[in-house]
């Protein structure tokens, strides 16, 4: 079986893994561990556990359990002292306590949830994501960074982890063995970049013989990546890896419905653009296709995931099909709209 | 398959069901719903859910899941805002919210935990256990009753549920179909009696063709049942059922180790006695045997169950074997020490 490693975090990984798990591949999900907001933040502070939120989403995506168990994992309490806690986060935190470590807790959770593939926290170091802005100010923690508009306005001088985080040996091993490494989609500074800041991860990607594909985000995040093009995303990621390592990029060509776009422009950012006229100078190949989800997001009370997903998002099946094509180049050519 | 219905609650049911589940019988556990202390009490107050604690213990006892999942269900958080909450209680409360009802939540939990048999909350009415003492004072809620020494000192005039609770139709159905109904062991006023106060339960026991066996407690609870004999337990239970319905009683003859007895006498109560000279006037048969557990109880942090179990308790396998003998009278005669 071909070995596919995903690198990301948050709801982007959820979508990606939900699609990929249906294919007969050896699938490993490397997950960012920088989250410190909401339920996850409270559990980090009060129980001294590592952030469970991103790992939970990946476990649920890869779970072959009943729909009900998966729904339960994303359930969020809305009343009393438990208010805001995701049940799945409590599940992972209790298992971390019982097993005496986050990695062992995640492995046990994977068994209980009948997970296909492996979910690998990128690090077991209790660390915090920091952004030093060009004006010298330091933003501390994913939550503060995520909600600050200064990231894009003032500009980023440096992104780093404090303290320095040691790469999970299992993550490094899986990257070295991989046939395909899939980066993104996901929150650029808060879910994607933090993975490359962990010691040993970028080095392993450099050394690996795997093809590397980047799933370009659909929209720019207001106050973070305003005006970013596909090219800029790729360049920043390669700067963090330390070498030009991206072989392929997937890019959505389908425009969202006008109603959704209007709502989105008001609240968030604009669609990512793509400098198609630069095709000749580009080292990596860009696969363009309709990768857009047509499903509306229902906002049910207590459903963690729906509340955090954006209105414009990838379609899990289309994205997975595209990536399988990248993996088995040629077999799936009929679905390619254009290769630049 | 022979149909066995247990009636009880708390750790007594846990022991009983842990033993019975190994036999090829159709097993249903009817569980008291009067708990309002600790984690259960907080969840009742804050989330408006029904008390999950007793049901959780029965589900875990009957679960065929991994040891780890069962350990997780009994894990209790010890820090921060979650402190005191049993993970299993949160699990049941979240499922009650998702399913829109406690009974449906329990059914879903049973599926996830791969439960052998059926766990049936005796009622879905949100009710409170009350004790009216002989001095007119009313104790309200299982927690207050359980911790009050006045129950035994002043004496009980009346035990009742407020508001009146409607019997779970499934509980009534199972009682009517049963070959054997097993009452206890368990906390007399807080886990056993409350079941008979629920509308329709005593009536169903009266109507049922089942044999009825009562597992007599090993020790009297200080301030509740001081000086109680086997005969008095039987009489009180039959008074609550409203008819002399008990056919058999199991009674432990093995004395606990001296060291354990000393500790127990100081903190709790004395062993239940048995007026053997009244054998001729007794309507029910008493099966005496060594039913005592020899295992010490480890008190691990976070292990809900160990913290609430008494030092002198039934051995799950011995008790189950005895009950199977009662069910298939004759087949197991060799283990009977004495039939009075």
Q: What is the pLDDT of residue B340?
A: 46
Contact A94 B108 (CB under 8 A): no
A19 vs A8: CA distance, rounded Å: 15
Contact A72 B95 (CB under 8 A): yes
Q: What is the pLDDT of residue A307?
A: 46
Q: Does B100 touch chain A (CB under 8 A)?
A: no
For residue B289, the SS3 value is strand
Contact B66 A111 (CB under 8 A): yes
H/E run at residue B194: helix B193-197
Q: Does B196 touch chain A (CB under 8 A)?
A: no
Q: Where are the domains of chain B?
A: 3-123+171-339
Contact A98 B302 (CB under 8 A): yes
Q: How far is residue B253 from each of residues A65, B284, B292, B314, measured CA to CA in Å?
A: 47, 18, 8, 11
Q: How is the beta sheet containing A338-339 ordered, strand by strand?
A: A118-121, A26-31, A3-8, A180-183, A211-215, A248-252, A285-289, A338-339
- Residue B279: alpha-carbon gap to chain centroid: 27
Nearest Cβ partner for A47 among B42, B80, B112: B80
**Could you list the mean pLDDT of each consecutive 10-residue stretch along chain B, which spans 340 residues?**
96 95 97 91 91 94 89 93 94 96 95 95 96 97 94 96 97 98 96 97 97 96 92 96 95 88 73 74 87 72 55 92 86 53
Contact A42 B80 (CB under 8 A): yes
Partners of residue B80 in chain A, C-beta under 8 Å: 42-43, 45-47
Contact A47 B95 (CB under 8 A): no
Distance, in angstroms, between B100 CA and closest chain A CA?
Answer: 12
pLDDT tens string, chain A, 340 residues long: the values are: 999 999 999 889 999 999 999 999 999 999 999 999 888 999 999 999 999 999 999 999 999 888 888 899 999 999 999 999 999 999 999 999 999 999 999 999 999 999 999 999 999 999 999 999 999 999 999 999 999 999 999 999 999 999 999 999 999 999 999 999 999 999 999 999 999 999 999 999 999 999 999 999 999 999 999 999 999 999 999 999 999 999 999 999 999 888 888 777 766 678 998 876 666 678 898 989 999 998 765 555 566 555 445 678 999 999 999 999 899 875 555 555 555 4
Q: What is the pLDDT of residue A295?
A: 75
B250 vs B213: CA distance, rounded Å: 7
CA nearest neighbour of A28 among A153, A189, A223, A172: A172
CA atoms within 13 A on the CB side of B151: 26
Q: What is the pLDDT of residue B67?
A: 87
Main-chain dihedrals φ then ψ at residue B109, nearest 5 degrees: -60, -40
For residue B92, the SS3 value is helix
Q: Does B110 touch chain A (CB under 8 A)?
A: no
Q: What is the DSSP letter of A334?
A: G
Partners of residue A108 in chain B, C-beta under 8 Å: 68
Nearest Cβ partner for A94 among B65, B87, B98: B87
- For A13, counting Cβ atoms within 10 Å of its Cβ (0-12 exposed, 13-18 middle, 19+ buried), the class is buried
The verdict on ipTM greater than 0.95 is no
pTM of the predicted structure, to 2 decimals:
0.86
CA atoms within 13 A on the CB side of A67: 2
Contact B97 A302 (CB under 8 A): yes
B80 vs A168: CA distance, rounded Å: 28
B115 vs B61: CA distance, rounded Å: 8
Q: How far is residue A339 from each of residues A108, A161, A201, A329, measured CA to CA in Å?
A: 42, 37, 29, 12
Q: What is the pLDDT of residue B279?
A: 62
Q: Parallel, antiparallel, or unpaired: how do β-strands B211-215 and B248-252 relate?
A: parallel
Residue B274 in tokens:
């048995």
Helix, strand, coil proportions of chain B in percent (round to 5)? 45, 20, 35
Q: Does A266 touch chain B (CB under 8 A)?
A: no
H/E run at residue A68: helix A67-74
A321 vs A25: CA distance, rounded Å: 13
- Residue A244: alpha-carbon gap to chain centroid: 20
pLDDT in tens, B68-100: 888 999 999 999 999 999 999 999 999 999 999
For residue A158, the SS3 value is strand
pLDDT in tens, B296-326: 655 555 665 554 456 789 999 999 999 998 9
Contact A45 B91 (CB under 8 A): no
Contact B90 A95 (CB under 8 A): no
DSSP state letters, B39-68: HHHHHHHHH-PPP-HHHHHHHHHHB-S-HH
Q: Does A98 touch chain B (CB under 8 A)?
A: yes
B9 vs B54: CA distance, rounded Å: 5
Nearest Cβ partner for A75 among B45, B87, B98: B98
CA nearest neighbour of B112 among B134, B141, B92, B132: B92
B76 vs B71: CA distance, rounded Å: 10
CB of B29 within 8 A of CB of B329? no
Topology, domain A3-123+171-339: Rossmann fold (3.40.50)
Distance, in angstroms, between A175 CA and closest chain B CA?
Answer: 30
* Closest residue in chain A to residue B66, using alpha carbons only: A112
Contact A87 B90 (CB under 8 A): yes
């Amino acid at each position: 079986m071909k070995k596919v490693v995903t690198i990301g975090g948050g709801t982007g990984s959820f979508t990606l893994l939900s699609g990929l798990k249906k294919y007969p591949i050896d699938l490993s999900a490397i997950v960012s561990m920088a989250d410190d907001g909401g339920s996850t933040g409270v559990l980090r502070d009060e129980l001294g556990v590592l952030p469970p939120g991103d790992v939970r989403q990946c476990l649920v995506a890869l779970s072959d359990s009943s729909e009900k168990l998966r729904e339960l994992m994303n359930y969020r309490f809305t009343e009393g002292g438990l208010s805001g806690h995701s049940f799945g986060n409590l599940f992972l935190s209790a298992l971390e306590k019982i097993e005496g470590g986050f990695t062992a807790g995640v492995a046990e959770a994977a068994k209980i949830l009948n997970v296909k593939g492996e979910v690998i926290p990128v690090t077991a170091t209790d660390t915090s994501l920091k952004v030093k802005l060009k004006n010298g100010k330091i933003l501390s923690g994913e939550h503060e960074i995520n909600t600050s508009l200064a990231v894009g306005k003032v500009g980023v001088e440096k992104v780093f982890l404090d303290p320095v985080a040691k790469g999970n040996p299992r993550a490094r091993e899986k990257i070295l063995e991989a046939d395909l490494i899939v980066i993104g989609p996901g929150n650029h500074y808060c879910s994607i970049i933090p993975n490359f800041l962990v010691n040993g991860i970028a080095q392993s990607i450099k050394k690996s013989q795997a093809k590397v594909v980047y799933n370009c985000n659909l929209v720019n995040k207001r106050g973070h990546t305003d005006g970013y093009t596909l090219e800029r995303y790729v360049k920043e990621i390669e700067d963090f890896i330390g070498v030009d390592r991206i072989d392929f990029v997937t890019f959505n060509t389908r425009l969202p419905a006008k109603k959704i776009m209007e709502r989105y422009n008001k609240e968030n950012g604009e669609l990512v653009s793509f400098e198609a006229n630069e095709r000749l100078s580009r080292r990596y190949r860009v696969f363009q296709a309709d990768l857009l989800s047509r499903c509306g997001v229902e906002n049910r009370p207590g459903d963690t995931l729906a509340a955090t997903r954006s209105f414009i998002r990838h379609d899990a099946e289309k994205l997975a099909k595209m990536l399988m094509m990248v993996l088995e180049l040629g077999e799936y050519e009929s679905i390619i709209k254009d290769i630049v």
